[in-house]
């Protein structure tokens, strides 16, 4: 009997349909859709995003499937608008420069396609994870986009942006009475005017009076009937003027205070107000850590990043920032553990793989360091960006000759890096006085790129 209980589950698993499994072609297809959708959104074109975004399940999770099924289309649209606004706002084009989808990778998880996209916007990298499922009968549906470093789910942000009570039960009869009485009062007023006036008019003018009064009376009667019918047909009321991320105001004020150097109890209150208004506690702690790191307060940054990792829904980017702090202080083993945790949560990206390469080299694992560099350059598609990434990593490792070889490996068709910008880049400070690097920086400029024929 015991064996039977063990065998039956195995047989059930063996007979499950295999259609949920995704092939490499499926993952490539989902990756391409994510690239095109993100690229369009970064240019301010949201049509593709809204076409593929699976909005209704996001709202059903927040409101409840039973209540959602009893809402009319008229009531659903304002709720859908909040979801669209949240996704479009998070993927809006940067004002400080062009944005681009720089790299992508995909993997399967529980029958879903997770597409990891690296977006360069406003001079910084933004890692995102796009969660797709197979739609019926065909096509991909976007269930969520996660901003990897702060650990913010846009689907969850949309639900929180709806406020505490987006949908409330309605007293239908009372609502119908409230809709009917004002219109009945106006109809009564029209009838009273007609009764008081008609005795003073000739028969011809009475007819004109009746026709004139009939037009507004008909409009109010029809409008009243429709309003009453709507009130009786809608058991729930949707809150008017739904909020859009009420915590954004507090975040904006906190960031401004941090930039102006006002690090005091009032600034901490602004951050706390953002959390109270619905912002993710982990994401807020992560932002506070970044602000502290920018002003050179490593101790405060470390505490904030540690707090961001301790939340129930942590901000994975805090692990990367703590790894960078550990690396700067020579604690390479700790940095590697933190980087492993970060990559497990967010997937690979070229910059982090570059840091991994430096850490592996410091730990005496050159083969692992070179493999991390290879993967990083592969994600960037080679070219100038891949060469510059390798050069920065080799500079961090103190390998000036390797950095020079990486930059000189570019073909004549590749865009060559500006040597003045390289001279000012702090990434190359570890090799700034190395003869090989000095000779490269002060050497003759590279030949111009060949002009395409025609």
10 pLDDT band (50/70/90 cuts)? very low
The pair of three-digit structure tokens given for residue 184, joined into one six-digit string? 């009945």
224 pLDDT band (50/70/90 cuts)? low
Mean pLDDT over 316-329 rounds to: 94
SS3 content of the chain, % helix, strand, coil (to 5): 65, 10, 25
Cα dihedral value 313, 245, 129, 13, nearest 10: 60
Task: Judge whether residue 2 has pLDDT over 50.
Answer: no
For residue 238, report the phi and psi dihedrals to the nearest 5 degrees: -95, 130
Task: Judge whether residue 176 has pLDDT over 60.
Answer: no
Q: What is the pLDDT of residue 30?
A: 92
- Evaluated on CA atoms 200, 201, 203, 209, the torsion sign reads negative
% of the chain surpassing 90 pLDDT: 30
CA distance 448 to 412: 8
pTM for the model:
0.73
247 pLDDT band (50/70/90 cuts)? confident
CB atoms within 10 A of CB 385: 20
Task: Judge whether residue 183 has pLDDT over 80.
Answer: no
* Mean pLDDT, the chain, integer: 81
16 pLDDT band (50/70/90 cuts)? very low
% of the chain surpassing 70 pLDDT: 81
The pair of three-digit structure tokens given for residue 354, joined into one six-digit string? 């570059």
Contact 384, 416 (CB under 8 A): yes
Q: What is the pLDDT of residue 7?
A: 41
CA distance 279 to 269: 14
- Residue of 80, 67, 77, 73 whose CA lies nearest to 235: 67
């Amino acid at each position: 009997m015991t064996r039977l209980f063990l065998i039956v589950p195995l047989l059930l698993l063996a007979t499950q349909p295999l259609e949920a499994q995704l092939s490499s072609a499926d993952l490539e297809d989902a990756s391409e859709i994510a690239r095109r959708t993100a690229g369009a959104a970064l240019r301010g074109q949201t049509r593709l995003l809204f076409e593929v975004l699976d909005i209704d399940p996001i709202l059903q999770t927040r409101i409840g499937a039973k209540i959602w099924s009893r809402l009319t289309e008229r009531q659903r649209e304002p709720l859908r608008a909040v979801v669209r606004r949240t996704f479009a706002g998070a993927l809006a084009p940067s004002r400080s420069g062009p944005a681009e989808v720089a790299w992508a990778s995909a993997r399967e998880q529980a029958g879903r396609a997770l597409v990891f996209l690296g977006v360069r916007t406003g001079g910084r990298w933004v890692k995102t994870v796009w969660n797709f499922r197979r739609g019926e009968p065909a096509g991909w549906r976007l269930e969520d986009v996660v901003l990897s470093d702060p650990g913010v789910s846009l689907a969850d942000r949309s639900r929180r942006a709806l406020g505490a009570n987006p949908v409330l039960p309605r007293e239908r009869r009372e609502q119908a009475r409230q809709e009917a009485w004002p219109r009945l009062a106006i109809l009564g007023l029209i009838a009273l005017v007609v009764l008081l006036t008609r005795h003073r008019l000739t028969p011809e003018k009475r007819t004109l009076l009746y026709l004139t009064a009939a037009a507004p009376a008909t409009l109010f009667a029809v409008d009243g009937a429709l309003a009453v019918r709507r009130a009786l047909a809608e058991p729930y009321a949707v809150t008017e003027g739904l909020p859009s991320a009420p915590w954004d105001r507090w975040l904006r004020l906190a960031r401004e205070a941090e930039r102006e150097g006002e690090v005091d109890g009032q600034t901490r209150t602004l951050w706390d107000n953002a959390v109270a208004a619905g912002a993710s506690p982990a994401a807020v702690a992560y932002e506070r850590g970044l602000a502290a790191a920018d002003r050179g307060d490593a101790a405060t940054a470390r505490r904030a990043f540690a707090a961001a990792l301790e939340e129930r829904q942590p901000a994975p980017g805090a692990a990367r920032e703590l790894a960078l702090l550990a690396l700067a202080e020579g604690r390479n083993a700790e940095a590697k553990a933190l980087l492993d945790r970060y990559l497990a949560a967010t997937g690979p990206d070229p910059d982090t793989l570059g840091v991994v390469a430096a850490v592996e080299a410091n730990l005496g694992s050159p083969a692992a360091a070179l493999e991390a560099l290879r993967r990083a350059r592969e994600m960037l598609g080679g070219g100038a960006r891949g060469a510059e990434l390798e050069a920065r990593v080799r500079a961090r490792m103190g390998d000036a000759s390797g950095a020079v070889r990486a930059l000189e490996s570019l073909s004549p068709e590749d865009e060559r890096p500006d040597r003045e910008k390289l001279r000012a880049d702090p990434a190359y400070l570890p090799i700034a006085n190395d003869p090989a690097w000095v000779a490269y920086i002060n050497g003759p400029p590279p030949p111009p790129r060949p002009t395409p024929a025609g």
